[in-house]
């Protein structure tokens, strides 16, 4: 048996200023309370009728969104247990890009159910054991619940099945329009082997004005600025990409030049001009029609670029420079000079297009196989609205990526959670010992998803849930895909498969796994020891002006 340190001696072990919390009351229940608060914050943002949160971050930037990943990224959560939830949902976001809300809500609910068991007198380790069994069984049951799959990743209708629900939960009412945009963009860049599908190849450009219905897809890259000189279009062009400024290199040290007469003055700038002309003459001789730079363009350089009829584009983001290099097949050069043949890129069409009142530059590859990037142009009345549409599109693209990994689909609208609830209840009734209580609570926690969908849609959650239970407990598999009908056309339930509401299998599987693991990790904590914050006491606030002496 391990030696228990008496409470009185703990402060003697560490420097003064340490804080201790231990035992079920102080550590476990407080952690559960904190995580539940966080889960409640994002729970109201779940599903198609989820409400928006207005967040002003430490830089005073305003966010209005119902995307859980954005909400918790911008909230600076300090509580250590709640931080574990945040980390789990960030892992879900980086891995599959969707269902981040499910991770937090489910983990919060699992912990809330565990609190009831703790108050009944169960030991945390007994609850943990039951939760681990329930998690493993839930993941096994999930394998049997898939009702459809994306058969052909190049077919628009098949992809739309997958994308529609993910976008509908963010932009309810516009899901058909946005799904078409995402599917069209995905088809433009879908490689021969779909597992090589890269999310980064679908870019989003936001152009203020007009309405969401004016949004479109462009095959190629779009930059939200017009070219520097008077040349505004080029076709079948060789492209040179530079990361250095197109200007005369300044010397590192300052020098003084004595000029005695006017002739010397004229000759002084002539050499400089000849040097610049030579550089751009070499570029023109190499057949370059488009020059892209990641820094500034000097006036003299611009003069020669105009003279040789080259289109000049300034791209200020180094990430966009890299992406553009991938699209045109060029190498970004850090020196000013003519690129070698293999360092030059090629683009079918580079043109300036007017979208609304903004002029943008489009790099477009006409051939189907050559285009490695496609851009969705979003129109909208406000910046916040366009940001939110971008998040919905991002979710849609990530769901397609998940389908390239595992094409199975589960019934959406809370139907899967209700079926898991039913089957885990059956497992619990057959499990001997104390574990059955934990498995039962795990099953009950699954109910939180359909309940939340009902509450956010303003429906009577209790009545709808009782109908869902009735449908799922019928004989046979007829009720597997019965979920919540947020439009409440009939009795608040619908057949999710017939309605075309599907959830991505890999996203749901990882979300349940992460939520259960996080809940178990938090239940395992029985002592919190916090050190004193660094940096001594804050100086007292002075009255009056600091410099009045």
| CATH for 280 | 3.50.7.10
Is 60 exceeded by the pLDDT of residue 368? Answer: no
Give the Cα separation of 417 and 138 in Å (integer): 10
Residues 368 and 415 in one domain: no
Q: Which domain holds residue 310?
A: 221-372
Cα distance between residue 472 and residue 495, in whole Å: 11
Between the alpha carbon of residue 8 and those of residues 2, 16, 403, the distances in Å are 18, 14, 57
Give the position of tokens 């890269």: 198
Predicted confidence at residue 55, as pLDDT, reads 86
Among candidate residues 163, 155, 157, 176, the one with its CA nearest the CA of residue 502: 163
Average pLDDT, integer, range 482-488:
78
Q: By three-state DSSP, how is residue 110 classified?
A: helix
129 and 16 share one domain = yes
Let me know whether 469 and 349 are in one domain.
no
Residues 288 and 237 in one domain: yes
pLDDT of 300 strictly over 50:
yes
Q: Please compute the mean of the pLDDT values over residues 208-212 and round it to a whole number.
A: 81
| pLDDT band at 539; cut points 50, 70, 90 | low
Q: Does any domain span residue 536? A: no
Q: Give CA–CA dist 374/327, Å, rounded.
A: 9
User: Is residue 114 domain-resident?
Assistant: yes
* Phi, psi (degrees; rounded to nearest 5) at 158: -65, -45
Residue of 379, 401, 403 lying closest to 390 (CA atoms): 379
Neighbouring-strand partners of residue 482: 495
CB 38 within 8 A of CB 448: no
Question: Distance between CA 50 and CA 528 in Å, rounded?
Answer: 35
452 and 365 in a common domain: no
Q: Do the domain assignments include residue 126?
A: yes
DSSP bridge pairs for 238: 288, 346
451 with 366, same domain: the answer is no
Average pLDDT on 200-213 reads: 83
Predicted confidence at residue 317, as pLDDT, reads 81
| pLDDT beyond 70 at 447 | yes
Q: What is the pLDDT of residue 536?
A: 58
CA atoms of 98 and 291, how far apart (whole Å): 38
3-state secondary structure of 462: helix
Distance (Å, rounded) from C-alpha 67 to C-alpha 47? 10
* Cβ-Cβ contacts under 8 Å for 267 (sequence gap 6 or more): none
Q: What is the pLDDT of residue 375?
A: 84
399: nearest Cα among 481, 286, 285, 511 = 511
Buried b (16+ CB within 10 A) or exposed e, 394-407: bbbbbbbbbbbeeb
Residue 540 lies in a domain: no
Q: What CA–CA distance (Å, rounded) separates 49 from 112?
A: 24
Q: What whole-number distance in Å separates Cα of residue 274 and Cα of residue 282? A: 12
Of the two residues 105 and 236, the one the predictor is more confident about is: 105
| CB neighbour list of residue 281: distance below 8 Å, 6 or more residues apart | 304, 308
CA distance 293 to 318: 10
The structure tokens listed for 174 are 């516009």
How buried is 279 (Cβ within 10 angstroms: 0-12 exposed, 13-18 middle, 19+ buried)?
A: middle
d(CA 183, CA 310): 35
Question: Per the structure, how many domains does the chain have?
Answer: 2
CATH number for 45: 1.10.560.10
CA-atom Rg of the chain in angstroms: 30
pLDDT category of residue 336 using cuts at 50, 70 and 90 = confident
Phi, psi dihedrals of residue 495, rounded to the nearest 5°: -90, 105
Cβ–Cβ under 8 Å, residues 189 and 373: yes
> Residue 108 falls within a domain, yes or no?
yes
452 and 523 housed in the same domain: yes
Residue 1 has pLDDT above 50, yes or no: no
Assess whether 415 and 366 both reside in one domain.
Answer: no
Give the containing element (helix H, strand E) for 358: strand 358-364
DSSP letter at 340 equals: P
One-letter-per-residue 3-state SS of 238-282: EEEEECCCECCCCCCCCCCCCCCCHHHHHHHHHHHHHHHHHHHHH
| Closest to 453 (Cα-Cα) out of 169, 74, 126, 122 | 169
Q: Are residues 103 and 231 located together in one domain of the fold?
A: no
Does residue 249 sit within a domain?
A: yes
Regarding whether 39 and 127 lie in a shared domain, the answer is: yes
How far is it, in rounded angstroms, from Cα 282 to Cα 273? 14
Model pLDDT for residues 82-135, shown as the tens digit of each residue: 888 888 888 888 888 778 888 899 999 998 888 888 888 888 888 888 888 888
Beta-strand pair 221-223/374-380: unpaired
In a domain, 118, yes or no: yes
Examine the domain organization and report whether 228 and 367 are in the same domain: yes
Does any domain span residue 133?
Answer: yes
Q: Of 174-178, 213-217, 225-229, 467-471, where does mean pLDDT reach its minimum?
A: 225-229
Residue 338 token pair: 């003519």
- pLDDT (average), residues 157-161: 80
| Cα–Cα nearest to 46, from 487, 456, 486 | 456
Q: Is the pLDDT of residue 31 over 80?
A: yes
Whether 366 and 227 share a structural domain:
yes
Residue 507 has pLDDT above 80, yes or no: yes
How many CB atoms lie under 10 A from the CB of residue 34?
Answer: 21
């Amino acid at each position: 048996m391990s030696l228990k340190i008496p409470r009185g001696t703990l402060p003697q072990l560490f420097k003064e200023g340490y804080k201790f919390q231990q035992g079920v009351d102080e550590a476990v229940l407080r952690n559960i309370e904190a995580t539940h608060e966080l889960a409640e914050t994002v729970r109201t943002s779940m599903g198609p009728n989820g409400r928006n949160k207005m967040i002003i971050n430490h830089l005073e930037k305003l966010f209005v969104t119902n995307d859980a990943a954005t909400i918790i990224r911008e909230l600076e959560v300090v509580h250590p247990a709640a931080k574990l939830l945040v980390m789990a949902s960030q892992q879900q976001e980086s891995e599959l890009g969707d269902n981040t809300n499910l991770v937090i809500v489910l983990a919060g609910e699992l912990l809330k159910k565990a609190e009831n068991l703790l108050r009944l007198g169960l030991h945390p380790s007994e609850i943990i054991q039951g939760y681990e069994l329930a998690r493993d069984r839930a993941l096994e049951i999930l394998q049997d619940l898939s009702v459809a799959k994306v058969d052909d990743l190049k077919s628009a209708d098949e992809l739309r099945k997958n994308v529609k629900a993910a976008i509908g939960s963010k932009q309810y009412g516009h899901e058909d329009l946005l799904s078409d945009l995402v599917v069209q963009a995905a088809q433009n860049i879908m490689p021969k082997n779909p597992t090589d599908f890269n999310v980064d190849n679908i870019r989003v450009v936001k152009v203020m004005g007009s309405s969401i219905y004016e949004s479109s897809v462009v095959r190629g890259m779009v930059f939200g600025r017009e070219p520097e000189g008077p040349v505004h279009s080029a076709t079948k062009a060789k492209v040179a990409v530079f990361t250095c400024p197109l200007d005369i290199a300044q010397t590192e040290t300052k020098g003084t030049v004595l000029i005695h007469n006017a002739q010397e003055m004229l000759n002084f700038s002539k050499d400089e001009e000849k040097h610049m002309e030579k550089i751009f003459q070499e570029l023109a001789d190499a057949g370059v029609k488009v020059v892209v730079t990641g820094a500034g363009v000097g006036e003299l350089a611009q003069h020669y670029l105009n003279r040789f009829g080259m289109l000049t584009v300034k791209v200020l983001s180094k990430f966009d420079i890299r992406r553009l290099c991938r699209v045109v097949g060029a190498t970004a050069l850090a020196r000013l000079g003519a690129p070698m043949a293999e360092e030059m890129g090629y683009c079918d069409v580079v043109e300036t297009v007017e979208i609304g009142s903004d002029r943008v530059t489009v790099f477009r590859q006409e051939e189907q196989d050559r285009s490695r990037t496609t851009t969705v142009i979003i129109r909208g009345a406000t910046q916040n609205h366009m940001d939110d549409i971008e998040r919905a599109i991002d979710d849609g693209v990530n769901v397609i990526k998940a389908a390239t990994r595992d094409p199975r689909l589960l019934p959406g609208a809370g139907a899967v959670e209700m079926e898991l609830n039913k089957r885990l209840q059956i497992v619990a009734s057959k499990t001997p010992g104390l574990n059955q209580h934990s498995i039962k609570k795990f099953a009950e926690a699954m109910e939180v998803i359909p309940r939340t969908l009902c509450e956010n849609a303003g429906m009577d959650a209790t009545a709808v849930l009782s109908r869902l239970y009735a449908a799922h407990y019928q004989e046979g598999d007829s009720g597997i895909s019965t979920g919540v009908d947020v439009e409440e056309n009939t009795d608040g339930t619908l057949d999710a498969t017939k309605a075309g509401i599907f959830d991505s299998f890999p996203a749901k599987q990882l979300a349940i796994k992460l939520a259960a693991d996080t809940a178990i990790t938090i239940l395992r904590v029985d002592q919190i020891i916090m050190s004193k914050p660094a940096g001594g006491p804050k100086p007292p606030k002075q009255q009056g002006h600091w410099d009045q002496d």
